[in-house]
Amino acid sequence: MEQQVVFDLELLKKYDISGPRYTSYPTAPQFTTAFTEQDYRACIADSQAAAVSRPLSLYVHLPFCDTICYYCACNKIVTKDRSRAIPYLQHLHKEIAMQAALFDSHRVVEQLHWGGGTPTFISHAQMTELMQCIRQHFSLADDATGEYSIEIDPREASVETIAVLREIGFNRLSLGVQDLDERVQQAVNRIQSEQETFAVIDAARAEGFRSISLDLMYGLPHQTTESFIRTLDRVLQAEPDRLSLFNYAHMPTLFKPQRRINDDELPDAQTKLDILQASIEHLGKAGYVYIGMDHFARPDDELAVAQREGKLHRNFQGYSTHADCDLIALGVTAIGQIGDSYSQNQREVGPYYAAIEAEQLPLLRGMRLSEDDRIRRRVIQALICHFALDFAVMNAELGIDCRDYFAKEIQQLSSMQADGLLAVSETGIQVRPAGRLLIRNICMVFDAYLQKSAQQFSKVI
């Protein structure tokens, strides 16, 4: 498939609204506390009874950060007291054992991700013990097959840290960079030198990590097109396998740290669009292809290959090549997906600790998908991963007539078709290059919950 994208300024301005990122459908605001531990266990039993045993994916949330980045909207605990990680890890080890006991031991973990917070906030010994605990209770695929990744803040990772991570089994790194401009860094309280950043990348290459992904963010204070392209040029010299270009969503009413960012120092809407356009052009010239939803990759990267082969998937960690896994959530606020259900752990450490000490799973909320949910999830997955929907394939897979089932939605797409975002035919829907940056808008047409939701979402661009 064609994996480039067309930047159409007028279209982006016309469709610049807020909407979900669709790491799940239905999205997290639809989760409810009516979903109980009994429901969760029943969903696991259904998964265990399936004719084909699904592999497993583990997400481990480590919420601690040494300092606060003002732009951050993640669930984290900011502290310089490293001892606060000790009780958290003790409870996390117990949760790992409790969760593992619910799954057949022959089910192999093909994917593992540590996120945060700052996962490397904990010591080398604690990281080693945590991975040993995971291996004790779960069967992990070998290094050649498994995808084991961790989020890295270069300020919290020495060359020795990278060696430890590779030794205990990680083979992929995701590095937060955001911007290398010192004035921008000071405005968002993330002082991170080029030397720190590139020392981690060099160490990861030397240790044999299979994939290195870098995260950048546009829309931060003091950014200009020229300053951001300087950062991008410097980053491209490191030749990352993947690169994410996130739009900073300024929502200080929802995220208190963002109140420390001065509104008058933020780039205006036109400057943000200029930055995005220049960045897309730069990445295209450098040989990167557009995967979707802010993500770019080298043409030979596994994500790019999976997309061309129609095997790409999207979950709570973003784009993935492991479409058929049950995702087990571990740690405070973590979200999992077992079969046709979603579940989220307690958001605060107090209730999280209390549940585990009572030998209960630390479940906060979740949901079972209805038949309509499952149908719409599959359609949104196809569009957001592959920019196309084949009616015949969907009809056979879902047991519906797409043109009849989605008659109202197809009618609603007519204005987008007139604007050149997509093409609707008798055989399916094809998103055109000019519509790929607006894939969230297209998916929103198929979202049955959106009109009822009071949730605030970020802008699509």
For the chain, 461 residues long, the average pLDDT of each consecutive 10-residue run is 79 89 92 97 93 90 95 91 97 98 94 95 98 98 94 95 98 96 97 95 96 96 97 96 94 91 94 94 94 92 92 86 89 96 97 98 98 96 95 96 97 96 96 94 95 66 71
Max CA distance (Å), the chain: 62
Whole-number pLDDT of residue 453: 61
Whole-number pLDDT of residue 454: 55
Whole-number pLDDT of residue 330: 98
Instruction: Please list, in sequence order, all residues whose beta carbon lies within 8 angstroms of the beta carbon of residue 433, skipping any fewer than 6 positions away.
Output: 2, 4, 5, 6
Among candidates 124, 126, 161, 168, which has minimal Cα distance to 143?
168
How many Å apart are CA 335 and CA 128, to the nearest integer?
24
CATH code for the domain defined by 30-329: 3.80.30.20
Query: Domain residue spans in the chain?
Result: 8-26+370-455, 30-329
How many Å apart are CA 84 and CA 348, to the nearest integer?
14
pTM: 0.94
| Burial status of residue 189 (CB atoms within 10 A of its CB: 0-12, 13-18, 19 or more) | middle
Q: Which CATH class is domain 8-26+370-455?
A: mainly alpha
Residue 187: how many CA atoms within 13 Å on its side-chain side?
19
